Amino acid sequence: MTLEFKELVPQIAKMGSMLEQLDFDLGDRLEKAFERFEQATDLDRVWERIDWVRQSDVSGYRGAAPMDTPDAEPVNLIVPAPEPPPSATLIAVDGSQIYPNERQPLHYFLLNMGALVYHHGSERTPDALTSPRLFFHKDHVHDRHGRIIRNREVDDRRTIAEIHYLAEQSWHYRDEARPLVALFDNSLLVQAGGGDPRENAIFFRDYMAGLVRVRDALATLAGYVDAPSRSERFIRLLALLGLESPDQLSSDRRPAGDLEGLGDKIFFERVLAPGERSAIMVQNSPRNLEFKERNVNFEIAFFYLNVGSEFTPHVVRIDIPVWVARDQLAVEELHGLLLAQCRMQGRNPYPYALTRAHEQAVVSKDDQRKVEALIKAQVRVSTDIPIDSLYFSAKTNSKFLLNGEKRRFDTRSVNRNHPQSG
């Protein structure tokens, strides 16, 4: 059965007419944002307005803030592209998974870690690494109520596995050429997806342990966010800078105030030239405060970076812990290395090492079928129970029987329409 396009076409036309009513013109808001950006040279004025919103009865401020002094950069700082260091070791890690299937009698999930170690400035071939792990014990696959764990809990465990695998490789390569850059494929300001407070606390503890081990290897840790399209943390700061008194906070309670609808990515694509980065800032949020309260060096900072070209800008967000943000040389080396990595990809400005790490990590449908076949084979060896009775429910078996009868019926019908030979 295919889509009834005759019914769909008028609905699409109706959607098109609705689009005419929407405001896609960001010109006025961009002009306001540019003006405030150019004037944002006074850090005391910036902090004054952040204090206004922190002390007010409006909902908590989730925007950008300067780093603590003496490390704070002017929020309108633009840093040009530096040269990469002559040598470096860059480790990128990514992960993928097979989710548990509650319809199968044997509940399991698989996490596969992939890594690419790139020896910058050297003729050495990159080291491609993988590490699959199968989880099948009932304590791993079921929650404390005996229910099979949800996919988002598997995602949480994958995040933990990724940061620990990155830490493991950082420690293993700690004697290689410096700087040693550890590249994580996502934001560093992670949050557990589950709703169980105890599980969330365990997640945070395990994640922080991974960060600590990366730092112990003296690695420059960075989280690469390729599409920060929904982020408006910097725009929220610019909205605050448009206020002249705290009384104005109650007149417009939208998170981005009079700049609502404008995102960080759109703004910085018009501000940053190719290769340039923004100021290093932190996000003012309860989650980031948890990181800071655990250890002031583990608060997550960030900057925006244009890895695109003159004609096709592409702004990404780079998350770094404060222990990296305070090291000016480490930030400069990271800046140059990321640009060099993206240039290797030509028209697809994305770090080469992360691309290869993803290739190492991905679990294809064919791989998944092979895993299932291996498990079925092991079941045959380990039990006398017929394999089909384990893997197929009565409902599924009835479908097979029905389809089989249908095929035989169709065959008999065809044969009756043909005279017998001989």
What CATH code is carried by the domain that includes residue 278? 3.30.2170
Residue at 143 is within a domain:
yes
In a domain, 210, yes or no: yes
pLDDT of residue 414: 40
The stretches of 84-243 forming alpha helices (DSSP H) are 138-141, 151-172, 197-216, 233-240
What is residue 23's predicted lDDT score, i.e. its pLDDT? 52
Is residue 100 in some structural domain?
yes
Helices and strands in the chain: count of H runs, count of E runs: 15, 11
Q: What is the pLDDT of residue 153?
A: 94
121 token code pair: 């400035």
CB crowding 283-310: b at 16 or more within 10 Å, else e: bbbeebeebeeeeebbbbbbbbbbbbee
Task: State residue 199's pLDDT score.
Answer: 87
Tell me whether residue 62 is in a domain. no
The pLDDT value recorded for residue 416 is 38
Task: State the DSSP H helix or E strand holding residue 374, giving kind and residue range, or none if neither.
Answer: helix 365-382
Residue with tokens 């169709």: 410
Domain-located, residue 48: no
Number of domains into which the chain is organized: 1
pLDDT of residue 190: 96
**pLDDT on residue 19:** 63
How much is the pLDDT for 421? 40
* Percent of all residues in the chain with a pLDDT value above 90, rounded to a whole number: 68
Task: Report DSSP state, residue 177.
Answer: S
On whether residue 377 sits in a domain, the answer given is no
d(CA 121, CA 114): 23
**CB-based contact 187:225 (threshold 8 Å):** yes
Q: Is 93 within the bounds of a domain?
A: yes
Global pTM value: 0.87
Integer Cα distance of 330 and 323 in angstroms: 10
Is the bond preceding 179 in cis, omega lying within 30 degrees of 0? yes
Tokens of 84: 């990469």
Query: What pLDDT is recorded for position 415?
Result: 41
What is the pLDDT, as a whole number, of residue 387? Answer: 57
pLDDT at residue 20, rounded to an integer: 60
Residue 418, pLDDT score: 41
Asked if the bond preceding 70 is cis, omega within 30° of 0, the reply is yes
Q: What is the pLDDT of residue 255?
A: 74
The answer to whether residue 319 sits within a structural domain is yes
Residue span of the structural domain in which 316 resides = 78-363
Q: How far apart are the first and last CA of the chain?
A: 42
Residues of the chain with pLDDT under 50: 400, 405-422
